[in-house]
Amino acid sequence: MGKLRAAQYACSLLGHALQRHGASPELQKQIRQLEGHLSLGRKLLRLGNSADALESAKRAVHLSDVVLRFCITVSHLNRALYFACDNVLWAGKSGLAPHVDQEKWAQRSFRYYLFSLIMNLSRDAYEIRLLMEQESSACSRRLKGSGGGVPAGIETGGLGGPGTPGGGLPQLALKLRLQVLLLARVLRGHPPLLLDVVRNACDLFIPLDKLGLWRCGPGIVGLCGLVSSILSILTLIYPWLRLKP
């Protein structure tokens, strides 16, 4: 499935490159047809995915963390609806239901896909915040244990008052720099979370473009879809890279 998706978005990216470089219309048509066949093949292979997504949602309901439970459950429910719409589209394109309004069902499917990705990114942001708080606390304990102390306003996140030496914009810039360094450290130490953030961020461009909320163009959509597909393949080759739960 991941290889088919990668091939489909590679065709999209290739078609855009051929169009920009003035390739023959016949070659561009063949690439578009290949992309369409790959898309239809993926839809056929996803016929049972709605049930799988519902089962995943049922398992997520039992998570102890309230935020994770909400984000993961809602994400899986939206994925189930997305796959259901995708099944209708497959029936229309394969000729089983020729009177299906494909544009309407495509818009519905991309809306559910977008909601699912928003929930995924919300979950990623929540996990990043928790890890950053844990890392910040650990750093504070190490500094106190070594007798170095913690700079004022950094441990507690305060910016200092107007009369505090180094207060104002320099203090804000320092705090922002420390937060960026902390974020980089957290993501570097948790490859599955980093991969999930990048993959969801790449996927986000696809429904945004298809729904007309942010026109990225076929080149950006093809590139983001290809990168996301390659990262998904990596999680299949190396299961430890998959974010859990």
The domain limits of the chain are 24-112
- Single-letter code of the amino acid located at 231: L
pLDDT of residue 47: 85
Given a cut of 80, whether residue 185 has pLDDT beyond it is yes
Other beta carbons within 10 angstroms of residue 140's beta carbon come to: 15
Whole-number Cα distances in Å, 117 to 3, 20, 95, 99, 199: 21, 30, 30, 30, 10
| Weakest mean pLDDT among 149-153, 185-189, 195-199, 224-228 | 149-153
The pLDDT of 78-87, averaged and rounded, is: 95
What is the number of alpha carbons within 13 Å of residue 244 lying toward its C-beta? 5
Question: CA triplet 93, 94, 96: central angle to 5 degrees?
Answer: 105
Given a cut of 90, whether residue 84 has pLDDT beyond it is yes
The pLDDT of 58-75, averaged and rounded, is: 96
Given a cut of 90, whether residue 98 has pLDDT beyond it is no
pLDDT of residue 149: 52
pLDDT of residue 155: 47
Given a cut of 70, whether residue 166 has pLDDT beyond it is no
The pLDDT of 64-93, averaged and rounded, is: 95
Structure token pair of residue 152: 């004022």
- pLDDT tens by residue, 20-62: 888 899 999 999 999 999 998 998 888 889 999 999 999 999 9
- The pTM assigned to this predicted structure is 0.87
**Which residue, 115, 135, 137, 138, is CA-closest to 127?**
135
Helix, coil or strand: residue 208: helix
- pLDDT tens by residue, 115-164: 999 999 999 999 999 999 999 888 888 777 776 555 544 444 444 444 44
**Which residue, 57, 187, 80, is CA-closest to 125?**
187
